[in-house]
Amino acid sequence: MISVIRSEILKLRTTRMWWAMALGIFVAGAVFAGFFAVVYTIDDPGTGAPAMTGTDAQVANTVYTAGLGVGYLLLLTIGVMQIGSEYRHKTITGTFLATPRRMKALLGKVLALVVIGIGYGLVSLLGSVSVGATVLSMRGIEPFPDVEILRSLALSLLALALWALIGLGVGILIPNMVAALLVGIGTAWIVEPLVGFGLSFNDFANEHVVKFFPSQATNAMIDPVTVSGPGMAEPLSWWAGALTLTAYAVVLAGLGVLRASRQDVT
pLDDT at 187: 92
Q: Among 77, 95, 83, 73, which Cα is nearest to 172's? A: 83
pLDDT grade, residue 73 (50/70/90)?
A: very high
pLDDT for residue 23: 92
The mean pLDDT value for 108-118 works out to 92
pLDDT digits (tens, 9 = 90+) for 181-228: 999 999 998 999 899 888 878 888 878 888 899 999 999 998 766 655
| pLDDT tens per residue across span 5-48 | 888 888 788 878 888 899 999 999 999 999 998 888 876 545 44
Q: Domain locations in the chain? A: 2-260
Distance, CA of 130 to CA of 112 (rounded, Å): 27
pLDDT of residue 100: 75
Quote the CA–CA distance of 252 and 213 in Å, as a whole number. Answer: 14
Give the residue-averaged pLDDT of 56-60. Answer: 85
Q: How far apart are CA 108 and CA 253, in angstroms?
A: 12
Give the per-residue pLDDT at 182: 94
Query: By three-state DSSP, how is residue 101 classified?
Result: coil
Q: pTM above the 0.75 mark? A: yes
The answer, yes or no, to whether residue 55 has pLDDT greater than 60, is yes
| C-alpha span between 74 and 24 (Å, rounded) | 8
Average pLDDT over residues 89-117: 84
pLDDT > 50? residue 237: yes
As a whole number of angstroms, the distance between CA 120 and CA 107 comes to 20
Q: What is the pLDDT of residue 64?
A: 93
**Residues 124-182: pLDDT tens digits?**
999 999 999 999 999 888 898 888 899 999 999 999 999 999 999 999 999 888 999 99
Mean pLDDT of 254-263: 86
Contact (Cβ atoms closer than 8 angstroms) between residue 6 and residue 105? no
**Which residues partner with 50 through β-bridges?**
43
Report the alpha-carbon distance of residue 36 to residue 49 in Å, rounded: 16
